[in-house]
Structure 1
């Protein structure tokens, strides 16, 4: 089974790196389960699937990852998003209060995670997010940035 990381790295079952990843199948399965749980959880905690995909696309854009941008573009297109969601996904400004707060946090943590402070969480609370939503957002940010880095590393290894 080709998972999202294989797809983002351009791996196929014929590739040695694809086979190498399968030396630890629990990591492959775990990453895919994590992906599903952050993008389309059973309980979305008020962060809808299309919002999560838009934020994932935004992070792929921030990380300058064309394969992941294309993946999230396709997923988002299938959901027929509105203008605000597309603006959020495309890294645009002029967003609603909530989307602006989400964008600021996603951008900040994706680009400068080492500068995060408790006040950054307070800003999310002021925008109306509750604890469950903040945790869900943090999980999404962590996974998408993990996915980006693993796929980029596999691409580098493949090109060597």
Structure 2
């Protein structure tokens, strides 16, 4: 079975890269499990499934991965949280201070993670984001950015194998 990462990178199962990835099937399986855990957890806490999808799409849009943007937007399309749909755009706000603060934080973690400081956490708290939700947001940002990098790396490897 082909994983989402392999599909997005365009890795053919019978290619050299596809065969190499089968040797690392556990890593890809765990990546799929992490995807589900951060995007659609049983207990989403203060980050609804729709908000998670919108923020994930936003992060992917920053990096320019249209396939992942579409993937995450498809989750939003099936969500009752359409009030967060504006957050899929990097400049989008939904007008709810807590969610807008989370969107700005996701932007920073995607575009300039080295700039993150304790003050950024205090800003989230001041906007009403609880500590458990700050952790949830950080997990989401970490996974989506990991996924973006793995897909980009596999695309480079795939292209190198074709030369």
Same fold (TM over 0.5): yes
Tell me the TM-score normalised to structure 2 length.
0.90
1:157/1:141 CA distance change after superposition, 3 Å = same
Distance 1:51 1:125 in 2: 18
Distance 2:130 2:58 in 1: 22
How far does residue 103 in structure 1 lie from its aligned partner after superposition? 1.4
User: In the alignment, what sits opposite 1:67?
Assistant: 67
How far does residue 116 in structure 1 lie from its aligned partner after superposition? 0.8
2:43 is the counterpart of 1:51: no
- Secondary structure at the aligned position of 2:94 is classed as coil
User: In the alignment, what sits opposite 1:146?
Assistant: 146
Distance 2:6 2:61 in 1: 19
How far does residue 57 in structure 1 lie from its aligned partner after superposition? 0.2
Aligned positions of 1:5-154 closer than 5 A: 5-79=5-79, 81-82=81-82, 84-96=83-95, 97-154=97-154
Number of equivalent positions: 159
Q: Is the contact made by 2:124 and 2:134 (CA closer than 8 Å) also made in structure 1?
A: yes
1:93/1:76 CA distance change after superposition, 3 Å = closer
How far does residue 18 in structure 1 lie from its aligned partner after superposition? 2.2
User: Bigger CA drift: 117-126 or 95-104?
Assistant: 95-104
How far does residue 81 in structure 1 lie from its aligned partner after superposition? 4.6
How far does residue 80 in structure 1 lie from its aligned partner after superposition? 5.6
**Long gaps (5+) in structure 1:** none
Distance 2:125 2:77 in 1: 30
- Give the RMSD, CA atoms, in angstroms: 1.5
User: Bigger CA drift: 111-120 or 93-102?
Assistant: 93-102
Tell me the TM-score normalised to structure 1 length.
0.92
Distance 2:135 2:10 in 1: 31
How far does residue 40 in structure 1 lie from its aligned partner after superposition? 0.9
